Amino acid sequence: MATRNLSRREAIRLAMLGVAGTAIAACAPAPTPAPPPTKAPAPAAPAPTQAPAAAPKPAAAPTATPAPAPATPTPAPAKPTAAAKPATAPKIKIEYLGYVDDLHKEAWSVFEKANPNIELEKSVVVGGWLDILAKISSRLAAGNPPDLISVPTYGQYITWGRKGLLLQLDDYVKADKEFGTEAIPKKVLDGYRVDTKLYGIPKDYVAWGLFYNVDLFQKAGIKPPDDTWTWKDVVEKGAILKKEAGEKTVFSYLTPMGQGNAEGWLWQNGGPGFFDREKPNVDWQTPTINHPKNVEALQWLADTVLKYKLAPGPEALKTEASTPRMLTGRLSMWPGTTINTVELLKNEDKLNWMVTHLPLAYQGGPRATMTWTSGAAIVAKTKYKDECFAFLKSMSIGEGVVVLGRSGFSIPAGVKQVGAFLSDKMKRHGGQVFLDASQKYDIVQNDRLGPHHVQLLNTAITPNMEAIFLGRKAVADAVKEMQAGMEEIVRKPED
Amino acid sequence: MAATVRRKRFRWRDVEGYLFIAPHIVGFLAFMLLPIVSSMYLSLNAWDMMSPPRFIGLRNFQQLLYADRLFWQVLGNTVYYVVLSVPPSVVLPLLLAVLLNQQVRGVSIYRAALFMPVVTSALAVGLAWAWLYDGQFGLFNYVLSLVGIKGPSWLSDPDLAMPAVVAVGVWQGLGYNMVIYLAGLQGIGQHLYEAATIDGAGRLRQFMHITVPLLTPSTFFTLVMGVIGSFQSFGLIYIMTNGGPLNSTNVYVYYLWQTAFGSSRMGYAAAMAWILAVIIFIITAIQFRLARTWVHYQ
C-alpha cells in the first residue's frame, strides 16, 4: 500500500479539525439520565401555591418518591424511615450544600444508615455563612441547584422563598403524622416562615447562659452567681474578681459585642433591639436601635469594657480568643451559648465550671435570650422531594438531630428530641438553664434582621458596634449612625 | 484602465490563520467581551440573580454617588491603599533587581526565593502573615518584646490594619516587579557604564544617570500595573481583615463582592465595577500622557 508523509501544514490542519470536532461533540447535550429503576411512580409534590387538598403523601410513605409520576402509587412496606428502599436498589444521590463539619457528618450518617438507598453528597463551602449563602445563590441562579441547602432565617433565604425557589413545606408538615403541630416549638418553626409560608425546617437552636469558673469564685470568697443576679452584681463582684497581671490578667467578664450576641442584652433592659420582633408580623422596615432602653443597655455593655475594664476589648480578643482564656482560668464568668459547652465538656478535668441564668438588667426586668437557629430547605427543582423531606425530618425531629443535642452543641428543634441535650454531664453543670431560657424566658428571639440582614450588618451595624467597643465613638453617636444607616438600607427601593 | 475586480479565491491558508487564533478569539468573546457587555447592561438594572433583571436606568449610579455613604469611605480606603502600596512596589524591586544583577554565587537562588511569594496563593500568604502579625503569639511582637517594646494589635487597630495589609501586598508583589527590572537591566549596554567610569562617574551617579533613566520603560510598566492591581486588591483583605476593623480596610473590590454576593445586588455591583473601570481608565490615561515627559526609550 502506498504511503505518504503528511506535511507539517496538513498535520496541523487535521489536528485542528480533530480538535474542532471533539469540541463540537463535547458541546452536545448530555443524554438525559434514566430515572432510577426502582423509583416508584408517585404523585408529584405540590407546587408552593398548591392548596392543602393537593397535599402529597407524607414522606413516611416510601412510595411517595419523586418525579416521573404516572400511575397509581404503589403501597409500600413500612420501613425504618420514610424514604428508605430495599438496600439492593441503586442509590439515589442527594446533594447537600451548606454548613459541614464532623459533628454534622456524624448526625447525617444516622440518616444515611436508616436510608441505605440514599447517598448524601456533601458539598462543602469554605468560609462562613456569607460564603455559604453566596454559593447557594450562585447555584440557584445558574439553574444548577443542589437538592438540599443549609438555611438561616434571614437574608437571601427570604428571597429564595418569595421567588418560589424553595419547596413550600406546609403541606408536607401537615400531612406527616410524626410532625403534627407540636413537634417543633411554634416560635422556632415560625422563624422559617416567609410571608406565612414555611420553606425551611429548623434543626436546632442555641440559648444563652452565664458560665462561671467555680474555683475563682471560691478563691475570691464570692457566692457564685444565681438567678437573682443583676447587671449591678456583675460590676460589683466583677471588680473583686478581676486580677490585673498583664497578659495573664484574669478578666471577670466577657462582653457580648456583635449584633447577634449583644441584642439579648438590649431586650433584657426592656429595649426592642434592632427591630421590634415581638410585634406581630414585623415588617423589617422600621429599625428601633435608637430606642433609649437600647442605648442604655449598649452603654452598660461598653462600660464593662471601657470604664470598669472587667472584660477584654475587641483588640485583646483578637489577640487571644475567649476559649483559651476560659480553659486556662483567666475568665471568672462569661455569657455564652450551648456551643461553648462542647469544649467545656471535653475539658472537664481542666476547668471546674458551671452555668446559670443570665443576670437581669434590673430586679424585675424581663428575662431574655437570643436564640440562633439554622435549618435546611429543599430546593423546589429537586427530583427527590420526599427523600429530602425525610432528611429534614431526621435532622429536626429524628435521630440525626439527637446527635447534635447529645454533643451539647445545640438544642434539637424537635420537642421530643430536646431531652438528648440534657445529658448527665450537662445536668451536673447546670445545663438545664439553657432549656429554661429557651422555653420559659419572657423574650426568646433569634438574630434575624429581615431580607437585608447581611447588608445591614456589613454597612450599618458591625462597624458602629466595633467603634463603640474600641472606644472610637460614643454610644449615642454610634446608635445615631446605625439608625440612619439602617433606615437608608431598608427604605430605599429594591435594586 | 478599467479596474478589474477579481473575486478572491478561497485559500486554506487564510482559514488556518483564523483557526490558529480561534481559541484566543473564542476565549476573548466568551470570557471578556460578553461579561463586559453583560455587566454594562446589568449596571442599568436591578438584579438579585433570582428573577429577571429590571431596567432602572441610571439609578444604581445615582445611588452610589449620592446616597451610599460607605461607597465614598471605601473609595477613600482604596486610594489610601494605592498611595501606600505603589511607591514601595516600584522602588524596592528596583533596588533588589540591581542587587541581584550582580555576578555573585547563588544569585539564581536569591531570585527564586524572592519570586516565590508571587506564585504562592493569597490564601496561604494571608494566613501566614496573620500569624506573624498576631498580637500575642506573632513573630513581630515577639521581636519587639525582646527590645522591651509592647507590640500593637496590628490587624485590629483601625490605624494600623491598612498599612499592615499593604506591607503584605508589597512583599508579595516584589518578585514580579523585580523580574521586570532584571529584564530591563539586562538590556542596558555595558559600554554606557564603561564610558561613565572613564569619565569619572561613581556607582551612585551611574545608577542615577544611566540605570534609572534607561529603566524608565520598566518603571512605567510596574507603575501602571501597580496602580491597576492596587485598585483591584481583594484577596489579602478577604483573608486577613474582612474589611475591618471599623471598615478601615474595606476596599473597593471587597465592598463590590459583599454587595454582589452578600446582598445579591448584582446590578448595583455591576455599576460599582463600571465606576472602578472608569477611574482606572482615567488614571491610566493620565499616566500614559505624563509618560511622554519622563519615560525614555533607547
Domain locations along chain B:
68-294
A479 DSSP β-pair partners: none
Which range, of A25-34, A322-331, B41-50, B95-104, averages the lowest pLDDT? Answer: A25-34
Instruction: For an interface test with B, give the residue of A319, A461, A483 to mutate (most B CBs within 10 A).
Output: A319
Count A/B contacts: CB-CB distance under 8 Å.
95
Joined grid coordinates for residue A46: 405540590
Q: Does A257 touch chain B (CB under 8 A)?
A: no
Mean of pLDDT over chain B = 92
The percent of residues above 90 in pLDDT, for chain B, comes to 76
- pLDDT score at B264: 86
Joined grid coordinates for residue A364: 424585675
Residue B167: pLDDT band with limits 50, 70, 90: very high
Q: Does A483 touch chain B (CB under 8 A)?
A: no
Report the chain B residue with the minimal C-alpha distance to residue A14.
B16
d(CA A197, CA A123): 27
Please, are residues B268 and A495 in contact by the beta-carbon 8 Å criterion?
yes
Nearest to A156 among B67, B264, B267 (CB): B264
Quick one: average pLDDT of B174-193? Answer: 94
Please, are residues A436 and A269 in contact by the beta-carbon 8 Å criterion?
no
Positions in chain A whose pLDDT score sits under 70: 1-89, 247, 492-495
Contacts of B247 in chain A (CB under 8 A): 463
B19 contacts A130? CB cut-off 8 A: no
What's the gap in Å between the CA of B63 and the closest CA on chain A? 10
Instruction: Please provide the CATH number assigned to the domain covering B68-294.
Output: 1.10.3720.10
Q: Does B144 touch chain A (CB under 8 A)?
A: no
Domains and CATH numbers, chain A: 84-206+373-425 (3.40.190.10), 208-371+428-491 (3.40.190.10)
Q: Does B108 touch chain A (CB under 8 A)?
A: no
Q: Does A428 touch chain B (CB under 8 A)?
A: no
Q: For residue A373, what is the enclosing H or E element?
A: strand A373-378
d(CA A93, CA A313): 47
What's the gap in Å between the CA of B185 and the closest CA on chain A? 39
d(CA A271, CA A275): 10
A133 contacts B262? CB cut-off 8 A: yes
Q: Does A249 touch chain B (CB under 8 A)?
A: no
ipTM beyond 0.85?
no
What's the gap in Å between the CA of B47 and the closest CA on chain A? 7
DSSP string of B68-107?
-HHHHHHHHHHHHHHHHHHHHHHHHHHHHHHHTTS--TTH
Quick one: average pLDDT of B125-148? Answer: 89
- pLDDT score at B15: 87
d(CA A483, CA B131): 36
Count Cβ atoms below 10 Å from residue A260 Cβ, excluding itself.
Answer: 16
* Spacing of C-alpha A145 from chain mean position: 20
Report the chain B residue with the minimal C-alpha distance to residue A162.
B50
* More confidently predicted of A46 and B38: B38
List, as own/partner pairs, every contact residues A338-342 make where C-beta atoms lie below 8 angstroms and the sequence separation is at least 24, other chains included. Answer: A338/A206, A338/A207, A338/A408, A338/A409, A338/A410, A338/A411, A338/A421, A338/A431, A338/A434, A339/A206, A339/A409, A339/A410, A340/A211, A341/A408, A341/A409, A341/A426, A341/A429, A341/A431, A342/A407, A342/A408, A342/A409
- pLDDT score at A58: 34
